[in-house]
Structure 1
């Protein structure tokens, strides 16, 4: 099942390292693998926490996206564990990894266009 899961997310993950890590079973776990977010992640998070604050829903979404966090067993990687043991700075690391993954997967047409700098007013004044 793990190998099959890895194939499902092949090319759709990013690996990173938390600054502080999540304390579990006597150790701080820092290395993580985050998969691309799916529509169902947000839907499920909102269903689980219909009246919860935005931050709790976001934490639930990231928990669903985390394929691994150190040596923490998947069944122990709960929203409650993250809520109690994930530093805000590490939450920002995960958010940055998620944004980097989305950028990496964006189609080339979504990239910043090149060559537009020559059409700026400053370049027109430079030729005067």
Structure 2
């Protein structure tokens, strides 16, 4: 199961004279946050930097072109909210997973005392 969510932006992102509205976003991970810091994105832009890394599809924009700079220059606040809400929906999919049932420890059946077939029984 992929922990992604797909939807449509109300306004969209303009890229190469075209508006792109359909998107898919995945949940973010700590590695996304670390990468944003290593890329030198300022603290005030961390959320946008992480979001740029988590958008797996945005219209027909190539994935490598979905960057912090692109979002800062073209994303409107209404679309930003929709993208953040979509990430929350993806997290809900992960949260909704039920853990597998706990495995009970192996307990051997108690042994019964049965007379050995080759030994004669003691007289009564």
Q: Same fold (TM over 0.5)?
A: yes
Q: Which runs of 5+ in 1 are unaligned?
A: 1-9, 110-128
Which structure has the larger Rg? 2
Q: Is the contact between residue 22 and residue 86 of structure 1 (CA under 8 Å) also seen in structure 2? A: yes
| CA distance in 2 between partners of 1:75 and 1:11 (Å) | 20
The two structures, once aligned, show a CA RMSD in angstroms of 1.7
Q: Any idea what the Cα deviations from partners look like across 1:4-46, whole Å, max 9, x if unmatched?
A: xxxxxx5221101111000011111000011121210011112
> Does 2:92 match 1:103?
yes
Q: Which runs of 5+ in 2 are unaligned?
A: 99-124
> Does 2:71 match 1:71?
no
How many residues matched?
98
Structure having the higher helix fraction is 1
| Alignment match, 1:17 | 8
Q: Which segments of structure 1 move beyond 4 Å, counting only runs of 4 or more?
A: none
> Does 2:68 match 1:45?
no
User: For 1:58, which of 31, 47, 65 is the aligned residue?
Assistant: 47
Scaled by the length of structure 2, the TM-score of the pair is 0.72
